Structure 1
Amino acid sequence: MRRLLPYLQPYRTRWLAMVFVAVLSTVATIVIPLMTKVVIDGPVRHHDRTGLWWWGTAALAIGMSEVLLWIVRRWLVARATMGVEADIRKDLYARMQLLPMSFHSKWQSGQLLSRIMNDLGTVRRFLSFGALFLLLNTIQIVVTTLILLAMYWPLGLVVVVSVVPICVTVLRNERKFTALSRKAQDQSGRVATHVEESALGLRAIKSFGREDYVYDRFDTQVKELYDIQVGKVSLQATFWTILEVIPNVTLILVLGLGATAAGQGRITLGTLVAFITMMLSIVWPIASMGFFLSMTQESMTAADRIVEVFDAPREILDGAGLVPVRGGELELRDVGYRFPDGEKWALRHLDLTVPAGQTLAVVGTTGSGKTVLTGLISRLYDVSEGQVCIDGEDVRDLRLDELRSVVATAFEDPTLFSMSVRENLTLGRSDATEEEIREALQVVRADFVDDLPYGLDTRIGEQGMSLSGGQRQRLALARAVLARPRIIVLDDTLSALDVHTEALVEDALREVLVGVTAIVVAHRASTVMLADRVALLQDGRITHVGTHRELLRTVPEYRYLLAAEDETAVPAGGAR
């Protein structure tokens, strides 16, 4: 929670005003019983009607003031805490965007969603409700207890003693409740992940008729969450039992001892009434301490989960300065990459130069490292050894926003967002004109856009599920073309197209790739023909580089790879 305190700084004035107003309302709550004592021992005892009217009017005014102070406090609380929640949520979202792909590959999306929504809501509720009432209740209990001791110390001592078992119970159960809170919040993230995956994979689930299977898995996750929540409630029941019983027992003792003391003349009737009234006024603060302490533990756990994201290392950072990219020559210098938690190298000892304006096709079996290679160019991953250079400059010396404006990537599995076609296309270049958008669509032969209900302004479903696989690929390719990069990376972006459409798109791409440095991951001979040269990638190493015809003539593995229907069937020895 300490790490999130700086977010309170911009709202410091509102917080101070909120606390001041809240303390005033608490003072009013304490003052009213004292006025009862004065009224009973004064105007009521002496039959002073005028004094009774004056004191009654004063008590009414204080009561009305308390109501107004509560309204003002709630307004201040809402403005301050919602502002803090919005600020943290924006920074947390921005942090998620900056964290590397290695981070997102380890974390379930539901866990991130749970943190940015549920956990932040828990922290906000604590700041707006729990923390304030924990402070006010503590002040009210302490001040009221001191007043009770001053009124008649034997009865005040009874109240003080009654607080001891409450404190013992809270301290004994604090660690257990914290552990259960963390388990419940983590399990909520797993449930959210399951729901999200099921929603995105609904087509596959339905096509295999596995609705019951998926439901059973979800039911298991929900039951586990249910059991954890029941455990929390059982632990809280211990709090509430003690916090309900002890104040009531204390009240009975106060009534008995107070009545005896009043009968013996040790205290006045007004003092007894005021004492009991004040005693009743702190029953709820005492009883609610367990609830607010539980809320405190939950918010601390939620804050720790949020801070975990903030503390995750960025790993991929901006370069030290702005390095201009001139032509677009791409060079790999002894490049190697190993996943953070892996022992095996995905790529090793890659040396390759792609002159500016040339196109290089990368061919290899599944798992040979092609996708990792394409990710290194735009720094979705950073090399474990060696250098990736553009125009002789290490990409790690470039600012990330500059690098990713120079390099555009279209992936085999395209990502489209739940917004309009136009917004998806202009994701990499927001200032694109209507004419430029139309040109990019023409390149990829995406004429189907005009048949959509609202054309470019048609909102497509989440992940573009309302479109076919080929249509999604063409829009992702058009997005890369529209960005007008100096280096374009196509990660097998034509795999979902039919042969006729693929031929049309390839003809148009030949014109687009003129003057642009391109890396094309390919599995088909027709796609390889787009390239000036071809690199054969085997087991994370580039074994051969040459033209398509040269490799067909001299490299049996390459010839077999393009001819085989199953690319994973390459013989261990290479040639058949």
Structure 2
Amino acid sequence: MPSEHVPTENAAPGRSTTRTLLRLWPYVRPVRARLTTAAFVAIVASLLSIVIPLVLKWLVDGPVAAGDTTGVWFGALYLLLLGVAEAVLFGIRRWLVARPLANVEATMRADLYERLQRLPIAFHDRWASGQLLSRGTTDLMLVRMFLAFPLTFLLVNGVTILAGYVLLLAQDWSLGLVLLTPVLPLVALSNLFERRYGVVARTAQDQVGDLTTVVEESVLGIRIVKGFGRHRSQARAFRALAEHLRGTELAKARLLAMIWSVITALPELAIGATLVLGTVQVADGDLSAGTLVAFLSTALALRWPVESIGFLLAMSQEAATATERYFEVMDAPEEQETTGTTKGTTTPDGVRFEGVTFRYPDAPDEAPPVLDGIDLHIRPGETMALVGGTGSGKTTLTALVPRLHEATTGRILLDGADIALMEREKLRSLVSMAFEEPTLFSASVGENVLMGAEGAGDPELRRALGVAQADGFVDRLPEKADTQVGEQGLSLSGGQRQRLALARAVVGRPRFLVLDDPLSALDVHTEARVEAALREVLKETTALVVAHRPSTVMLADRVALLSHGRIAAVGTHQELLRSNAEYAWLMSGEGNETR
């Protein structure tokens, strides 16, 4: 199971909630007109609720005191109309924000997905997939909810409270001052709550990402889980993470309950004191009954705007942490394109590695580089086999050619052109790869293969399937090349997936081909047929092939032995067998078993 590791370099403990939420402005700006209109409509609707007490004052001091039945009915009608108008306006507000905020969420999700495609492989190596998934789903839902409700109602309730207190002070300044007494304690408590809740909310959202990772890995690795009978241990791991999340959610609930109870209790005490003082004033003749009714009705109308402060602050904090998590990905540095010009030779020169060194960006300073001073020349049209023991750096070396990783020092040249100065799109149109672990997508067989060449059609598809000896089993599928292979291609065997990955690599007739042990999952007979077809393809390209078996090495014109991150020897298969003991050992049965 994964560790509960979350890269949070940008998550500053003392970050400003307002400053964090302001980063949403570029997404909100296109819909600001509708959101502003919705806020204005909500303010009008909310202010209608404090007009009702004024109607009550008129009703009590006028028609009720005078026994005017007609006036009472008119007063009741006014109250009904105000209530209906308030309800209609809140409905309009909801209609105004629904569509634009759905668009905001969709735009943010699309930008996040696009960003993930542009981030370097090193980023994806560090981040758990569940953490990225939760940022694109749960976190963006929290952002949308904030824009739909707290963003508007923090303003609406603030305006309502301000207008309500002005009205209270205008009706009776002494009673109004009594109701104002809880304001300072509430501001102090809200500030304390905001800081504490923000920390707990961030923890909870990170734990959701960890939990998502466990679920995703368990589903994708269900064959391993079942095959080794590890369902109980996986369930225990899931329960442990779920318990951690449960504890964090309970901590959030306790904080919310505390602030809610305080925000509710203090205004209620103030209203109670006001009721006592107001009743005394009415009894003494210093205050009319209608004014007291209006005063208390206004105070009660302000209960929800005041009591909702804790709820709105909690949602705002969760939205702030969600926004922070979202921009942690969006702020990650992309693969940088260089601005230099590529100057290649006029004649093909193949692939050259000149003093290439590579170490992973997050490796300790004292750790030796994975590759150290690689000098290697693959001649034009030549196939070079790359052989080495486990951990020698073979896969890393192949990943440098299409710039999945960047060389730390040194240069890699394709026909004399430095790949560090090439646009990645151009580079990857020249270089095609097949990885040892084939990855297929939830699409048809044909769509998976044709991903290797933009604009390729059925003739290229059939040729590539033939080279990979995949046309036979593809034609036996229910819908042939249109058959959906399912998630990760798990409906196919390992050998079938590997052949489709090989077909994807060769479908575009690339100038440079990089194959990372492409035949490891094939049986002996299929491997022989694939090798025979692949030889014809290799005549048309310059290729680097990671090999572990003599049969794969025999596809190559020459062999390079990689040992401890360095090129130890280069020659033909027979030459290295005679002159290099390490190579002979690797090509022996014992060496193959340890690869």
Q: TM-score, normalised by structure 2?
A: 0.92
Say if 2:244 is the partner of 1:227.
no
Give the secondary structure class of the aligned counterpart of 1:345: coil
Note if 1:318 corresponds to 2:337: yes
Aligned mates of 2:177, 2:78 — CA distance in 1: 31
For residue 81 of structure 1, what is the amino acid of its counterpart?
Answer: L
Quote how far apart the aligned CAs of 1:196 are: 0.8
Partners of 2:106 and 2:571 lie apart in 1 by 55
Instruction: State the distance in 2 between where 1:211 and 1:448 align.
Output: 33
Counterpart in the other structure of 1:364: 388
Secondary structure of 1:351's partner? strand
- Residue 297 of structure 2 aligns to a residue in which SS? helix
1:223-274, Cα deviation, whole Å (9 max, x unpaired): 1111111111111111122122223222322222222222222222221111
Counterpart position of 2:492: 467
- From 44, 48, 52, the equivalent of 1:32 is 52
Matched residue of 1:445: which SS? coil
Moved over 6 A (4+): none
Paired residue secondary structure (1:565): helix
For residue 421 of structure 1, what is the amino acid of its counterpart? Answer: V
Q: Equivalent of 1:421, from 430, 434, 445?
A: 445
Map 1:283-322 onto structure 2 (within 5 A). 283-314=303-334, 316-320=335-339
Give the whole-Å Cα distance in 1 for the aligned partners of 2:73 and 2:252: 51
**Does the 8 Å CA contact 1:322/1:399 hold for their aligned counterparts?**
no
Q: Do 2:382 and 2:557's aligned partners in 1 also have CA atoms closer than 8 Å?
A: yes
Distance in 1, matches of 2:561 and 2:402, equals: 21
Contact 1:137–1:286 under 8 Å retained in 2: yes
Q: CA deviation at 1:47?
A: 4.4
**Which residues in structure 2 correspond to 1:418-567 (within 5 Å)?**
418-446=442-470, 447-567=472-592
**Structure 1 residue 220, shift from structure 2 partner:** 0.7
State the shift of 1:362 in Å. 0.6
Separation (CA, whole Å) in 2 of partners of 1:263 and 1:323: 94
For residues 371 and 153 of structure 1, do their structure 2 counterparts lie closer, same or farther at Cα, with a shift above 3 Å needed?
same
Aligned to 2:375: 351
Partner SS for 2:354: strand
The structural deviation recorded for 1:569 is 5.6
1:41-440 to 2 correspondence within 5 Å? Answer: 41-48=61-68, 51-52=71-72, 55-314=75-334, 316-320=335-339, 327=348, 329-342=350-363, 343-440=367-464
Q: CA deviation at 1:76?
A: 1.5
**What do residues 544-564 of structure 1 show as CA deviations (whole Å, max 9, x unaligned)?**
112222222222221221113
In structure 2, C-alpha distance between the alignment counterparts of 1:243 and 1:125, rounded to whole Å: 23
Q: Is the 8 A contact 1:328 1:487 kept in 2?
A: no
Does the CA-based 8 Å contact 2:43-2:156 persist in structure 1? yes
Amino acid aligned to 2:171? M
Shift of 1:89: 1.2
Larger displacement relative to structure 2 (245-254 or 536-545): 245-254
CA RMSD of aligned residues (A): 1.9
Cα distance in 1 for residues equivalent to 2:236 and 2:75: 67
Greater Cα shift, 164-173 or 226-235: 164-173
The secondary structure found in structure 1 opposite 2:478 is coil
Structure 1 window deviating more from structure 2 (496-505 vs 254-263): it is 254-263
Q: Does the CA contact (< 8 Å) of 2:549 and 2:592 recur in 1? A: no
- State how far apart, in whole Å, the 2-side matches of 1:569 and 1:188 are: 39
Residue 361 of structure 2 aligns with an amino acid whose one-letter code is: P
CA contact (8 A) 2:384 2:545 kept: yes
Displacement of 1:53 after TM fit?
5.3
The whole-number CA distance in structure 2 between the counterparts of 1:569 and 1:250 is 79
Cα distance in structure 1, aligned partners of 2:252 and 2:593: 52
Alignment partners' CA distance in 2, 1:249 and 1:183: 35
**TM-score of the two chains, using structure 1 as the length reference:** 0.95
Say which is worse superposed, 44-53 or 482-491, in terms of deviation.
Answer: 44-53
Deviation at residue 567 of structure 1 after TM alignment: 4.1
Per-residue deviation, 1:198:
0.8
Q: Distance in 2 between matches of 1:114 and 1:569?
A: 39
C-alpha distance in 2 between matches for 1:428 and 1:19: 50
C-alpha distance in 2, partners of 1:127/1:117? Answer: 16
Larger CA deviation: 140-149 vs 550-559:
550-559
Matched with 1:573 is none
CA shift for structure 1 position 46:
3.6
User: Could you report, residue by residue, the CA deviation over 1:401-446 in whole angstroms, capped at 9, with x for unpaired residues?
Assistant: 1111111111000111122212211223242212221111111111
1:319 maps to amino acid:
T
Q: Which amino acid aligns with 2:112?
A: L
Q: Counterpart of 1:444 in structure 2: which amino acid?
A: A
Report the Cα distance in structure 1 between the residues aligned to 2:141 and 2:308, rounded to whole angstroms.
21
Aligned residue identity for 2:394:
K
Deviations 1:320-349 (A, max 9, x none): 267598857211111010011222200011
Once residues 594 and 549 of structure 2 are traced to their aligned partners in structure 1, the CA distance between those partners, rounded to angstroms, is 15
Residue equivalent to 1:22: 42
Asked whether the equivalents of residues 43 and 160 of structure 2 are also in contact (C-alpha less than 8 Å), the reply is no
- SS in structure 1 at match of 2:561: strand
Question: Which amino acid letter does the alignment assign opposite residue 193 of structure 2?
Answer: N
**For the residues of structure 1 that align with 2:220 and 2:212, how far apart are their CA atoms?**
12
* CA shift for structure 1 position 469: 0.8
Percent identical among aligned pairs is 48
Q: 1: CA distance between counterparts of 2:118 and 2:439?
A: 18
Q: Could you say what secondary structure the match of 2:181 adopts?
A: helix
**Deviation of 1:52 (Å):** 4.9
Aligned equivalents of 2:162, 2:457: Cα separation in 1:
68
Check the 8 A contact 1:409/1:480 in 2, yes or no.
Answer: yes
What does residue 8 of structure 2 align with? none
The one-character-per-residue Cα deviations of 1:2-45 (angstroms, maximum 9, x if unpaired) are 32221111112112212221222122222222222223333433
Equivalent residues of 2:390, 2:594 under 8 A apart: no
Q: Is the 8 A contact 2:354 2:410 kept in 1?
A: yes
Point out where structure 2 has 5 or more consecutive residues left out of the alignment.
1-20
CA distance in 2, matches of 1:276, 1:556: 96
Q: Is the 8 A contact 2:42 2:93 kept in 1?
A: yes
